[in-house]
Amino acid sequence: MCNCGGTPDPGKSKLKDDMAAESSQVRKTTSRRCECEAHIVLKAAGLRGFVIMSFVEDHNHPLAVGAENMFLRCNRKVSKSQQNFIMDCSRAKIGATRAYNLAKEMVGSYENVGATVSDFKNFARDVKLGIGENDASLIIDKFKLRRKLSKDKFYYDYKTDREGHLTGLFWTDAISQANYEIFGDIVSFDPTFRTNKYNMVFVPFTGVDNHWKNVTFGASLIAKEDYKNFKWLINTFKRAMGHAPTCAITDQCPAIKKALQISWPHTKHRLCMWHIMNKLPSKLGPRRATDKVFMSKLKSVVYSDQSSPLEFEEGWSSVISEYKWQDNKWMSDMFRRRKSWIPAYFSDIDMAGLLRTTSRYESSNSFFQHFHERGDTLVEFYSSFESAMDKQRIRTVEDDKNSRKTPRMETPLRIEKDAARVYTLALYYRVREEIKNACFHTSMPEITQTDDSRVFMCKDEILNGKIFQVSVKRSTNDVECSCKFFNRYGYLCCHAFAALQQCGIHTIPRQFIKARWTKDALKNHTSIGSLETPSNCDKPERTKIKLTRAWFEFESCLDLVGDDEDKLDMVRLLLRDMESKLQNDSEQDGEPGQAHRADAFIGPLPLNEEGLRNPNISKNKGSGSRIKSTREIFIQSKGQRTCSICNKTEGHNARTCPTLKK
């Protein structure tokens, strides 16, 4: 029968009083039904086929013509390639509507898409609904499979509450573990909010790689930012990596501090300078925080890693007295905690110069927030996390490639060429600045010589003529400077380079080249290999890789064709023949229905023998403290629309009710 047959509102003969009592809101909608009687009735006649029993040809409404045909249900279908495209876009933080617009540009017009924007949004919705109550068990099953395929190199752990709700989840793969082994001397971790639908706190563990960029060692989701969760997280990280880091950088959260003191007693805990300095406007007021002279004086005292503790305290007192901040409680509290965040007190920590990089937290959080949405399920969150890690690791590959090139030298010294051969490009530029400063901004007013060593008194013009003592041992080429720059950053200072030049040493002594800064820092780790997925990956991953390669091979063919019309006709003819053959094979095998087309992206539902349940909605910092607008209060006061199937107000309606799938 015609799809416009039937009455416009079937089953809507309720009394007005009953409707008012049920809900104060009436949905504004339309119906295509207009009691059209056009139909055809067929009866099976055995081997003869079918017999027409009744046929009414006339319609009582206009038929779809032209561009309207694309809105007919028979012409609307989200193809498999479009489904893949929607999911790929979601991993890149592109919603269904924008994905639809991109699809239109790719095929030329909306008519050629073969579906509407509502079809795209409905598919994305079906994926979320398909995950539903199985979110936690699906992500754990995915982790189990990854650990099995990686031969136990992928590590994960989770914890639940008494009712079986997921409250903590940690994971790290083989590449992250290898990175930690090389670059894990100093680790920072900062809780990030609003990354998933359960309001769980996202905690990435971050370090600095040999290109002076952030590298992720592992990640976690915890239900609440409290001592118990942080203690579990810190112990789990140590089990996964085998040992605790030398130093941990965090914010001023007391729960983290307590957990670190108990679980990592030998790890030095330092506070993030970026967090503290970022609070200045709220603690001192916007007027003082925007005072460039005041901020310049304060930062010159706080950020100086060449100052001794005594010099810092004198400089701090001078600035505070000049601007009369002696009575400010927050400034006084920060001064009492100075050993936890001021570089002048970090002389006992190797590579403490990495703590001086104040934007590590900011850049790490900003990086991951480009991939996550507040309403993501755990499965979607992890899929986006993998996309983020792919971007981070391909950036590392690009940096490795660029480091193989020969940079332009700025001095004729052989020691600069040696630095270019050994260090990555990012580190070479830093070392080159020290070599240039040694040539143009240092002098040796005093030299003392013994049988096996020479002692230089080096005057640094950049630091207002400050004198540093540098000693060089001839037999071993050992060099030591009183500025302790090598201990903080892992490469030699300008004073050391000036002394080596005076001694006629034209290469960097190999004992002063830290492996973490070299081009081959990860060369000996078998875990760091090709970014391609291994051959023993699961079927969906293999299928995705083959689809991607097939697409690029097709694009390569089109590149070879160019603008030649004869070659384009040949390609189209071959494609039509291939499509005809594949269509015949599909009809013989039977095409799967569209009722559960989203299930392919979710995977088989797990058995969930552990009784694992989805996390509860967490309430962390800032939850419930937002001031609601008058419009929002009015909308909430009217009440939510209920589903006509289950009579619940859980963000669905009769078409998307979960009970329909049971």
What would the pLDDT profile of 125-156 be if each residue is shown by its tens digit?
888 888 888 899 999 998 998 898 888 899 99
In whole angstroms, what is the distance from residue 592 CA to residue 80 CA? 11
Lowest mean pLDDT across 160-169, 247-256, 347-356:
347-356
Q: What is the pLDDT of residue 440?
A: 93
Average pLDDT over residues 65-73: 77
In whole angstroms, what is the distance from residue 590 CA to residue 212 CA? 55
Residue 512: partners with Cβ closer than 8 Å, 6 or more residues away: 479, 486, 491, 492, 496
Instruction: Label residue 635 by pLDDT band (50, 70, 90).
Output: low
Residue range 71-92, pLDDT digits in tens: 777 778 888 888 888 888 888 8
Residue range 541-567, pLDDT digits in tens: 777 778 778 878 888 888 888 888 888
Q: What is the pLDDT of residue 585?
A: 77
In whole angstroms, what is the distance from residue 379 CA to residue 543 CA? 19
How far from 322 is each of 290, 316, 330, 397, 497, CA to CA, in Å? 17, 10, 17, 50, 39
| pLDDT, averaged across the chain | 84
Residue 144: partners with Cβ closer than 8 Å, 6 or more residues away: none
Q: Which domains does the chain have, with CATH numbers?
A: 1-63 (no CATH), 153-272+359-396 (3.30.420.10), 276-356 (no CATH), 430-517 (no CATH), 630-662 (no CATH)
525/439: higher pLDDT: 439
Is residue 443 within a helix (H) or strand (E), and if so which, with residue range? strand 442-449
Residue indicated by tokens 């890149």: 92
Mapping DSSP to helix (H, G, I), strand (E, B) and coil, where does residue 427 land? helix
Burial grade of 656 (CB within 10 A; 0-12, 13-18, 19 or more):
middle
This prediction's pTM: 0.80
Task: Extract the runs of DSSP E, i.e. beta strands, from 22-89.
Answer: 39-44, 50-56
- Other residues' Cβ atoms within 10 Å of the Cβ of residue 513: 19
524/202: higher pLDDT: 202
In whole angstroms, what is the distance from residue 177 CA to residue 216 CA? 9
Residue indicated by tokens 């552990």: 610
In whole angstroms, what is the distance from residue 32 CA to residue 257 CA? 63
Residue range 388-403, pLDDT digits in tens: 899 999 999 999 999 9
Lowest mean pLDDT across 5-9, 22-26, 59-63:
22-26
Burial grade of 535 (CB within 10 A; 0-12, 13-18, 19 or more):
exposed
Q: What percent of the chain has pLDDT over 70?
A: 85
**435 pLDDT exceeds 70?**
yes
How far from 263 is each of 203, 239, 246, CA to CA, in Å? 17, 11, 13
The single-letter DSSP state of residue 610 is: T
Q: What is the pLDDT of residue 284?
A: 84
Q: What percent of the chain has pLDDT over 90?
A: 41
Per-residue buried b or exposed e for 414-426, using 16+ beta carbons within 10 Å of the residue's own CB: ebbbebbebbbbb
How far from 383 is each of 389, 438, 656, CA to CA, in Å? 10, 49, 24
**594 pLDDT exceeds 90?**
no
Most confident residue range from 74-88, 161-175, 639-653: 161-175
Q: Which residues pair with 160 in a beta bridge?
A: 166
Tokens at 479, concatenated? 């060099």
Mapping DSSP to helix (H, G, I), strand (E, B) and coil, where does residue 542 land? helix
Average pLDDT over residues 298-315: 89
Say how many CA atoms lie within 13 Å of 500 toward its Cβ: 25
In whole angstroms, what is the distance from residue 275 CA to residue 341 CA? 10
Q: What is the pLDDT of residue 550?
A: 85
8 A C-beta contact, residue 498 and residue 438:
yes
Average pLDDT over residues 61-78: 80
Tokens at 150, concatenated? 């990686």
Q: Which residues pair with 155 in a beta bridge?
A: 172
In whole angstroms, what is the distance from residue 371 CA to residue 90 CA? 9
**526 pLDDT exceeds 70?**
no
Tokens at 263, concatenated? 């679980």
In whole angstroms, what is the distance from residue 106 CA to residue 100 CA? 10
Most confident residue range from 17-31, 280-294, 498-512, 579-593: 498-512
Residue 445: partners with Cβ closer than 8 Å, 6 or more residues away: 457, 459, 467
Q: How many helices (H) and strands (E) does the chain have?
A: 25, 13
In whole angstroms, what is the distance from residue 180 CA to residue 243 CA? 10
Q: What is the pLDDT of residue 130?
A: 80
How far from 25 is each of 28, 352, 400, 633, 638, CA to CA, in Å? 9, 62, 60, 16, 8
Q: Which residues pair with 206 in a beta bridge?
A: 188, 216
**534 pLDDT exceeds 70?**
no
Q: Which residues pair with 172 in a beta bridge?
A: 155
The torsion angles phi and psi of 26, rounded to 5 degrees, stand at -115, 125
Mapping DSSP to helix (H, G, I), strand (E, B) and coil, where does residue 468 land? strand
How far from 442 is each of 412, 458, 463, 497, CA to CA, in Å? 17, 7, 10, 10
358/209: higher pLDDT: 209
- Other residues' Cβ atoms within 10 Å of the Cβ of residue 167: 20
Provide the residue count of the chain. Answer: 662
Lowest mean pLDDT across 26-35, 227-236, 491-500:
26-35
